[in-house]
């Protein structure tokens, strides 16, 4: 299966910026460009072209180009097909990078396409290929020569370049980023002509803010008065590097999120373990205080009855009983720590009562007549 491109009006003339360019120039330029790009995987294989006249009858023979059939979709259809995909954003970033890889291969072959649009870029399998090379030129070639084709453009895709300026790889990058912009927003950049408006529209359509900055930087017009304009991308490789940095940041963020979730899970387990352990410690403390309270009551019971009947001793015993009742209530409500603290105070009161009773027992014989 092959694809045939036919020039329907080979004898026609196209007027660009007041200059008349024969259509045959486009045909000859495309044949020359395709011949130079035969080893480039980003371009369909070229077979042959015909542009001649019948020497006997004088009839015009239709010029055409026969090339490898690209079984895929145009970038224009790719963008429309992604509209309803659940992972649309991630898929768009993946396709963005693959498109730039294809364009880098095109430039590595020494050519600038000069007419990239949603219809001239095709997705075949997992790679992008570029068709319609009628305006392609060598990267280091000036606008001179027999079959020079003045820089043309597809409205809405072409970068803003001064008339007569030599095209550079930056302009191809700008046009391809415009295709990507159309994938994200569903509209052409001609609807708004300011980078700030492009950025707002990308973000409004769900694009990551950092990715939107990459797309806008790729679309921003190059300053033709500067050999190097830091405000734009000058090659597909620069865009690929920016996308790779963005992907590394995204993966790092996802890793941090996963690690954070893992740490939270570990912290939750430790918290449960600590809670259970602390509950057991408090329960042990509560039972220990109960045992101490029982021991102190036994010690107090061994004191003489008249000493235990003393008002000062009874005051301490009553205070201990009140503390014990409060401790019992706290324990029933699950506040074992507070119950242990109250029991400890009750133990101190009983111990103090035992001490007072013992002192009274020793002093009583001395004060009796």
Question: What is the 3-class SS of 95-158, one letter each residue?
Answer: HHHHHHHHHHHHHHCCEECCCCCCCCEEEECCEEEECCCCCCEECCCCCCCCCCCCCCCCCCCC
Mean pLDDT over 191-198 rounds to 80
At residue 156, the pLDDT reads 55
Q: Is the pLDDT of residue 45 over 80?
A: no
The residue behind tokens 């790779």 is: 244
At residue 364, the pLDDT reads 72
At residue 278, the pLDDT reads 80
The secondary element (H helix, E strand) that includes residue 98 is helix 88-108
What residue ranges do the domains of the chain occupy?
2-234, 271-363
User: Mean pLDDT of all residues in the chain?
Assistant: 81
Q: Is the pLDDT of residue 167 over 80?
A: no
At residue 282, the pLDDT reads 84
At residue 232, the pLDDT reads 83
Question: Predicted confidence band at 301 (pLDDT cuts at 50, 70, 90)?
Answer: confident
Q: Is the dihedral of CA 171, 174, 180, 182 positive or negative?
A: negative
Q: Is the pLDDT of residue 369 over 60?
A: no
At residue 61, the pLDDT reads 64
Distance CA 34, CA 242 (A): 30
Does the predicted TM-score (pTM) go above 0.85? no
Q: The domain at 2-234 falls in which architecture?
A: Orthogonal Bundle (1.10)
Question: Predicted confidence band at 164 (pLDDT cuts at 50, 70, 90)?
Answer: very low
């Amino acid at each position: 299966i092959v694809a045939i491109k036919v020039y329907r009006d080979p004898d026609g003339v196209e007027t660009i910026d007041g200059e008349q360019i024969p259509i045959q120039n486009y045909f000859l330029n495309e044949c020359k460009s395709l011949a130079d790009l035969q080893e480039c995987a980003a371009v369909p294989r070229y077979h042959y072209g015909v542009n001649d006249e019948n020497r006997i009858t004088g009839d015009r023979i239709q010029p055409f180009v026969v090339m490898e059939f690209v079984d895929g979709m145009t970038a224009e259809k790719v963008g429309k097909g992604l509209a309803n995909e659940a992972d649309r954003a991630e898929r768009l970033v993946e396709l963005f990078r693959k498109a730039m890889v294809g364009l880098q291969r095109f430039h590595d072959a020494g050519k600038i396409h000069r007419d990239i649009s949603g219809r001239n870029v095709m997705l075949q399998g997992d790679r992008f290929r570029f068709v319609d090379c009628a305006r392609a030129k060598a990267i280091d070639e000036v606008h001179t020569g027999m079959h020079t084709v003045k820089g043309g453009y597809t409205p809405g895709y072409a970068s803003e370049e001064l008339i007569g300026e030599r095209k550079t790889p930056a302009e191809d990058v700008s046009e391809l980023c415009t295709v990507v912009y159309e994938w994200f927003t569903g509209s052409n950049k001609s609807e708004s002509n300011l980078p700030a408006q492009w950025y707002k529209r990308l973000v409004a359509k769900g694009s990551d803010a950092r990715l939107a900055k990459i797309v806008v930087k790729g679309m921003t017009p190059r300053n033709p008065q500067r050999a190097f304009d830091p405000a734009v991308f000058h090659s597909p490789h620069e865009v690929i590097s920016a996308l790779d940095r963005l992907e590394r940041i995204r993966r790092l963020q996802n890793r941090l999120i996963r690690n954070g979730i893992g740490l939270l899970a570990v912290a939750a387990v430790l918290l449960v373990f600590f809670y259970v352990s602390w509950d057991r410690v408090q329960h042990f403390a509560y039972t220990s205080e109960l045992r101490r309270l029982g021991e102190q009551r036994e010690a107090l019971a061994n004191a003489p009855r008249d000493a235990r009947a003393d008002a000062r001793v009874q005051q301490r015993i009553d205070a201990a009983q009140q503390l014990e009742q409060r401790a019992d209530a706290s324990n029933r409500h699950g506040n074992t720590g507070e119950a242990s603290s109250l029991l400890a105070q009750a133990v101190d009161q009983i111990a103090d009562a035992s001490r007072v009773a013992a002192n009274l027992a020793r002093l009583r014989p001395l004060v009796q007549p």
